[in-house]
Amino acid sequence: MIVVTEFMDEGGLARLREAHEVTYDPKLVDDPARVLALAPQAKALVVRNRTQVRGELLGALGNCKAVGRLGVGLDNIDVEGCGARGIEVIPATGANARSVAEYVIAAAMLLLRGAYSSTAAVASGQWPRDPLSNGREISGKVLGLVGYGAIGRLTGELADALGMTLLAHDPAIAGSVPLDNLLANSDVVSVHVPLTESTRNLFDASRIGRMKRGAVLINTSRGGIVDEVALATALRSGALGGAALDVFAQEPLRAAPHFDGVPNLLLTPHVAGLTSESIVRVGDVVATGVLRVLARHG
């Protein structure tokens, strides 16, 4: 049996069902006792980002050969623990890269221009032309990419096509720019790193303070990397010119009074990688990987 605890595209589910019995409930993640009861029977487990594959649940996966991750971040999965139990972890590497890259570019354009929140004012008879005439073009600006994996590279390609200059900080690549240099020179900083002990709170008040005045910060990677209170403070003071957060230290985000009335701030509910197209691609990649592993094990 394959257990799918969160939303999966019907095409990917159909492929799994052709070869195996599938237990699927997109709200199963909210019933951990049921997930735990199903775990011993699972030959494969398919999750998104909310199901925590560690501890008691991981220990109960006695017959499991594969954990499919409908996305790319693995901080909700004990990868080392899975490996020790002979469980292969299958992320949907690259399948949602374009969706995230397009989100980053769109957010950067919105925040730099600053002219797209005037609908209510204009419709009510106001004409805020003067205050909205000082927006900035994206062409000619510097994009700093913190992390230069598949998503970072594709974001860079889209930015390059719009006339941006690119800087990248990633210890794994040759020619990586020191982080402080990147922050001091970038008009837009986009974060593309996993949440680890070394990246947790990477953008604290001190590091945000090293960013170029008026710069825009975009985080589509993981919550916990950007200090949300410090970010809100920098936006209120004018030190930063804008920010977009798609991920948060706690998800779903609870009431967050530190964000109330913060200017030029975009908050979205962890959807940068979710489009109708990417959902299909992600489901297909994970289904392919899970079926391959299970076929190998008979």
User: How do residues 68-107 score in pLDDT, each as one tens digit?
Assistant: 999 998 999 999 999 999 999 999 999 999 999 999 999 9
Q: Per 3-state DSSP, what percentage of the chain is helix, strand, and coil (rounded to 5)?
A: 40, 15, 45
222 counts as catalytic: yes
pLDDT mean across residues, the chain: 97
Q: What pLDDT shows up at residue 229?
A: 98
pLDDT-derived band of residue 209, with 50, 70 and 90 as boundaries? very high
CA distances from 292 to 53, 254, 285 (A): 21, 39, 11
Q: Which of 88, 222, 228, 281 is catalytic?
A: 222
Q: Which of 200, 251, 258, 277 is catalytic?
A: 251
Q: Which of 15, 48, 136, 270 is catalytic?
A: 270
What percentage of the chain reaches a pLDDT higher than 90?
A: 98
296 counts as catalytic: no
Query: Is the confidence at residue 237, as pLDDT, over 80?
Result: yes
With beta carbons less than 8 A apart as the criterion, state whether 45 and 24 touch: no
Q: What is the mean pLDDT of residues 243-252?
A: 96
The CB density around residue 93, as the number of other CB atoms within 10 Å, is 16
Give the CA radius of gyration of the chain. 21
- Chain Cα centroid distance, residue 31: 24
Rounded Cα gap, residues 164 and 43, in angstroms: 47
Query: Is the confidence at residue 292, as pLDDT, over 90?
Result: yes
Residue from 188, 281, 197 nearest 242 by CA = 188
50 counts as catalytic: no
pLDDT tens for each residue of 11-68:
999 999 999 999 999 999 999 999 999 999 999 999 999 999 999 999 999 999 999 9
Q: What pLDDT shows up at residue 295?
A: 97
Rounded Cα gap, residues 79 and 177, in angstroms: 29
The secondary structure element, H or E, covering residue 10 is helix 10-19
